[in-house]
Amino acid sequence: LVDGSDTAIGSLSTGDTGLVGIAVNPVLTRLYVSSVSRNVYVYNAASFALLATVSLPGEPHALAVNTNGNAVFVAANGNELYKIDGNTNTYAGSVTVGSGDGEGVAVNTVTNHLFVSNYGNGTVTALLDPCATTPPPTPTPTATSTVTNTPTNTPTATNTPTATNTATRTHTPTA
């Protein structure tokens, strides 16, 4: 195995020569490796220790993990999608999909949708993982109001006294 600097950090061996798929569950720190010998090997992704070997009814190929419930989905040769319970490392059933060799499977962990490529008929099958837990909601930003004092150039009325010419009559007595 290699890290981001292309420096080997370890290796593992299944003893199997037909390895075809690989996936990681970062929540459980698990590495899943599929083999044409109808097995999926489960390793601790940190120590590379073999934790389990899950036997499947058909030939597994591509793998994908839904961390919402820790399910491992295995696209298999012969129109099958297998499910492995990642919490117990046991085979949990299958569903028929399209037509092909199990070349591709993907999981959208936001919607819990599964997508399986069907080589034989040129389609993609979309499924919902009904056992997945609901992912935590993504926070939505909300608008907040902020009062800001902004100077303006608005004229203000002012009472200013003005001089007014007023004629006044004064009576002056004469002698």
Quickly list DSSP for 112-149: TEEEEEETTTTEEEEEE-TTPPPPPPPPPP--------
CA-to-CA separations, 149 to 143, 155, 156, 167, in angstroms, rounded? 19, 17, 17, 50
Give residue 15's pLDDT. Answer: 78
pTM of the model: 0.71
Q: How many CA atoms lie within 13 A of 101 on its CB side?
A: 5
Q: Would you state the pLDDT for residue 98?
A: 79
Residues sharing a CB contact under 8 Å with residue 85, sequence separation 6 or more, in sequence order: 70, 71, 72, 92
Q: What percent of the chain has pLDDT over 70?
A: 70
- E strands, 57-112, are 60-66, 71-76, 80-85, 90-96, 105-108
> Per-residue pLDDT tens for 76-121?
988 889 999 999 999 999 998 877 777 889 999 999 999 998 888 8
Specify the pLDDT at position 67.
94
pLDDT 10s digits, 56-88: 999 999 999 999 999 999 999 888 899 999 999
What is the residue whose two structure tokens read 């600097």?
Answer: 5
| The two structure tokens encoding residue 129 | 């993982």
- The Cα 29–Cα 132 span in angstroms is 18
Q: How far apart are CA 43 and CA 32, in angstroms?
A: 6
What average pLDDT does the segment 12-30 reach?
88
Residue 122 has pLDDT above 80, yes or no: yes
Give the count of alpha carbons within 13 A of 104, CB side only.
11
**DSSP 3-state of 46:** coil
Q: Token digits for 119?
A: 């080589």
Q: Is the pLDDT of residue 20 over 70?
A: yes
Are the C-beta atoms of 30 and 37 separated by less than 8 Å? no
